[in-house]
Amino acid sequence: MRTTSDLRRLWAPACQNGLSVLLLHSGARVSVAKATAEAFRAVDGVMQAAGYAPRTRDTGGYNCRKITGGTAHSLHAFGLAVDYNWNSNPFRADGKLITDMPASMVAAIKAIRTKAGASVFRWGGDFTRVKDAMHFEIVASPRELAAGIDWSGAEVREPDPASPSSWPVLQRRDRGPTVTALQERLGRAGFPCDPIDGIFGRRTEQAVRDFQVSRSLDVDGAVGLQTWTALLTDQGPTLAAQSPVKVAQRAAEAPAKLPATCKRRSKGKSVSQLQRRLAELGFDCGEIDGSFGARTEAAVKAFQSRRGLQVDGIVGPRTWAALLVG
């Protein structure tokens, strides 16, 4: 199996790979290299099938940093690794393995293969000198991952049409049989996104957004429990006043006094708070330094797009409210 040095060379340079922000089935978000998104979606499918929920507060992916205890870049800096629930799966320099991950689930993740049969993941709990049970890292090359994940061999749950919660979260750039099922369901609901090809691209995302608007759901282009429920129960068009999504209630739950408006070139405590919150939600803005630069602006715009807000990169009352109520 490839060494960490091999992987650094294959995926170089560090901190410069394009990123995707994945919304996991538990609601946590992680940033990973775009080329690895389908692979980490498969991990989430295995975890969902095992009943294992990544937590928002201690799950994370991309981070432009050096490896623990070393001087070279961590694989997190290439978008190749995700740490899940690190409080209950701690890094141990003494080599003692402590984990709450079911062994069968770990084995199923390590068994994920590409369509060409290449291995995809290594688990930090198998490291020899230290144990890093939170950690799953890509061991495939960009060319190998381009072949796609072999979903027929992945131990994911077979979705139940009568149980919306059994369906995985889907979003832009996802692939696989559940994307095909989504496209078919959208077509039957009157929102065609041809071709039905199992690829969640621009046309599928627009069809999802149009469907969400028609049912007065959160318009984020991602297919989570709300959207699956509406699709699987054949929910008809819904007036905003009758929406199951309590938009007014969520707004009321926001703090009475919101932080100051932040935008490009802003500095100070409000910007630091913004950066920390974006990072918690899986939107990478680089170093938390209280300075609103290009990476922070890009993260804000990504968040606004995901939540159906005006994408202007300015963090005013509406964006702050959406950030602070999660």
Query: How many percent of the chain have pLDDT more than 70?
Result: 93
pLDDT at residue 129 tops 50? yes
Q: How far apart are CA 287 and CA 309, in angstroms?
A: 25
Q: What is the mean pLDDT of residues 44-69?
A: 91
Report residue 21 as tokens: 């922000």
Report residue 215's pLDDT band, with 50, 70 and 90 as the boundaries. Answer: confident
According to the per-residue pLDDT averaged within each range, which of 59-73, 111-125, 203-217, 306-320 is highest? 111-125
- For residues 141 and 10, the answer to whether their CB atoms sit within 8 Å is yes
Residue 36: predicted pLDDT? 96
Domains of the chain: 4-151 (3.30.1380), 164-245 (1.10.101.10), 249-324 (1.10.101.10)
Nearest to 101 by CA among 111, 93, 92, 90: 90
Partnered with residue 113 across adjacent β-strands are 119
Query: What are the tens digits of pLDDT across the range 258-267?
Result: 788 999 999 9
Query: What are the tens digits of pLDDT across the range 77-112?
Result: 999 999 999 999 999 999 999 999 999 999 999 999
pLDDT at residue 48 tops 50? yes
Residue 253: predicted pLDDT? 45
Residue 257: predicted pLDDT? 65
pLDDT at residue 68 tops 80? no
Residue 246: predicted pLDDT? 47
CA distances from 87 to 148, 179, 185 (A): 32, 33, 39
Q: Is 4 helix (H, G, I), strand (E, B) or coil?
A: helix
pLDDT at residue 251 tops 90? no
Residue 325: predicted pLDDT? 64
Query: How many percent of the chain have pLDDT more than 90?
Result: 63
Residue 321: how many CB atoms within 10 A of its CB?
Answer: 17
Report residue 232 as tokens: 């699987």
pLDDT at residue 13 tops 60? yes
- For residues 27 and 59, the answer to whether their CB atoms sit within 8 Å is no
Report residue 131 as tokens: 């144990």
Query: Range with the lowest mean pLDDT among 4-18, 19-33, 308-322?
Result: 308-322
Q: Give me the helix-helix angle, 202-214 and 177-188, nearest 10°.
A: 50
Q: Give me the helix-helix angle, 317-324 and 269-280, nearest 10°.
A: 50
pLDDT at residue 248 tops 70? no
Report residue 10's pLDDT band, with 50, 70 and 90 as the boundaries. Answer: very high
pLDDT at residue 312 tops 80? yes
Q: What is the mean pLDDT of residues 59-75?
A: 88
pLDDT at residue 199 tops 90? yes
